[in-house]
Amino acid sequence: MDQRSTRDEPLDPRSIKSRTAMLEAARSLLASEGWDAITHARVAETAGVGRATAYRHWPTVNELALEAASIEIKSVSTLVTGDLRTDLLAELRALRTALVDRGLKHLMVSVMERAIHDPEFRKIRHQLNQRGGENLRNLLRDAVKRGDLQSTIDLEEIVSLLVGPIIYEVVLHDQTTSDKRLVRLVDFVLRGCQPD
Amino acid sequence: MDQRSTRDEPLDPRSIKSRTAMLEAARSLLASEGWDAITHARVAETAGVGRATAYRHWPTVNELALEAASIEIKSVSTLVTGDLRTDLLAELRALRTALVDRGLKHLMVSVMERAIHDPEFRKIRHQLNQRGGENLRNLLRDAVKRGDLQSTIDLEEIVSLLVGPIIYEVVLHDQTTSDKRLVRLVDFVLRGCQPD
DNA sequence: CGTGTTGTGAGTCAAGATGTCTCACAAAGG
DNA sequence: CCTTTGTGAGACATCTTGACTCACAACACG
């Protein structure tokens, strides 16, 4: 999204090296132990750099935490067949995989918690929402254009109907949301969108 | 759920007084500033008690945090009319109100975050889920008995379809989920449950 | 009402965490 | 080659954490 060259310019290879090492360490710590593990000392130790170096790059822990949580989530572009049901299903599968298999669930919940009290983290949460539902929104918009979907229904609400239950089951119930469940979910929503 | 008299017996009024004062302080701090504010020092200071007293009641911060998060959520029993649509709507309104107006949203997200790494908090999360969806499950079960709802559909999935989107919108998008939206949600789900 | 018990507040204390600073050094770039 | 710059190691003052003591007042009980 943003190239890290507008404000600070860490063109020195040494700076880049220690910086990336610390960020990687911070993300690992965040995923495995949560926010409490994000301290200058722990991160520096884990990254194998000096403690003072961590302070140089991020004067406060919050700045460090913020940057550690700012992960560029690559929206795995599932191949679009044109059949809405198939494409939605593929997209939801990708979402589930990202949440469960990769640590996105942990990250999301962590960011959610910080977002309650920190406006900066609200921005990150917003980006996660935006990126996470991007493909889904595109699919639905194209389907409306094609006429496969009623245009009277707000797309954001359909996204909510599809994503909401998955988030709910994965995050609040530690369920994996089986493949059959995903199929039922998609069919249910598509059925509800059908004109009578 | 459990009467706090099985293990420890703080029958001394002084003990009860300082204990409740600290728990109230801890909950207030948790809601307003998050987990970082939950320390023996801050809680004791806020409650107006000595720092050592906090250590006496809860040797570790985690025990304190755990008890502070263990709120007995009173499921506001909405009056049941017998009409499924009306009753579901009332129930979802109550859920939304609890999440948004009262601090349940904050508490829930805080507990979710801790639950990732702490099994004790997973129990609390489970209780929140259980209690939060209790009325809803009862409504659906009765509707199936009455024949107002197809019995082939898993009730837990319907709960997920109803609650998921609300959680998603409230927690991840800071939306309030308008009343119209709730109506559309209920109608959508009921429509999807109709036999063809 | 008196008396022993018990939780408390204030304070002390050691150990550890936190943030700042200095300095020798080596990698970077001219 | 030589200056600049980020680094690691360490010193340092300060704050936090958890354990401890002790005088005191509220409590339970006779």
pLDDT tens per residue, range B54-69: 999 999 999 999 999 9
Location of structure tokens 């302070």: A55
pTM score, two decimals? 0.91
pLDDT band at residue B3 using 50, 70 and 90 as cut-offs: very low
Residue A53 forms contact with B (CB below 8 Å): no
pLDDT band at residue B100 using 50, 70 and 90 as cut-offs: very high
Decide if B130 contacts A127 (C-beta within 8 A).
Answer: no
A25 token code pair = 């360490």
**pLDDT computed for residue A10 by the predictor:** 60
Q: Searching chain A, which residue's CA lies closest to the CA of residue B32? A: A117
**Digit-coded pLDDT (tens) for B147-170:** 999 878 899 999 999 999 999 999
Interface of A with B in 59-118 (CB under 8 A): 106, 109-110, 112-114, 116-117
Decide if A162 contacts A132 (C-beta within 8 A).
Answer: no
Residue B92 CA to its chain's centroid (Å): 14
CB-nearest to A129 from B112, B167, B172 is B172
Contacts of A109 in chain B (CB under 8 A): 109, 112-113, 116
Decide if B30 contacts B37 (C-beta within 8 A).
Answer: yes
Whether CB of A22 is under 7 Å from strand D: the answer is no
Best residue in A33, A136, A157, A172 for a mutation probing chain B (most B CBs within 10 Å): A172
CB-nearest to A164 from B122, B129, B167 is B167
Strand C positions closer than 7 A to protein CB: 6-11, 17-22, 27-29
Decide if B163 contacts B140 (C-beta within 8 A).
Answer: no
Given a cut of 70, whether residue B2 has pLDDT beyond it is no
Q: Searching chain A, which residue's CA lies closest to the CA of residue B195? A: A191
Question: Gap from A96 CA to C11 C1', in Å?
Answer: 55
Q: Please, what's the largest Cα pairwise distance for chain B? A: 67
CA–CA dist B65, B82 (Å, integer):
41
The 8-class DSSP code of residue B6 comes to S
Strand, coil or helix: A111: helix
With a cut of 70, list the residues of chain A below it in pLDDT: 1-10, 196
CA–CA dist A41, A54 (Å, integer):
8
What letters, b where the CB count within 10 A reaches 16 and e where it falls short, cover A4-42?
eeeeeeeeeeeeeebbebbbebbbbbbbeebbebbbbeb
Mean pLDDT, rounded, of chain B: 91
CA–CA dist A126, A48 (Å, integer):
32
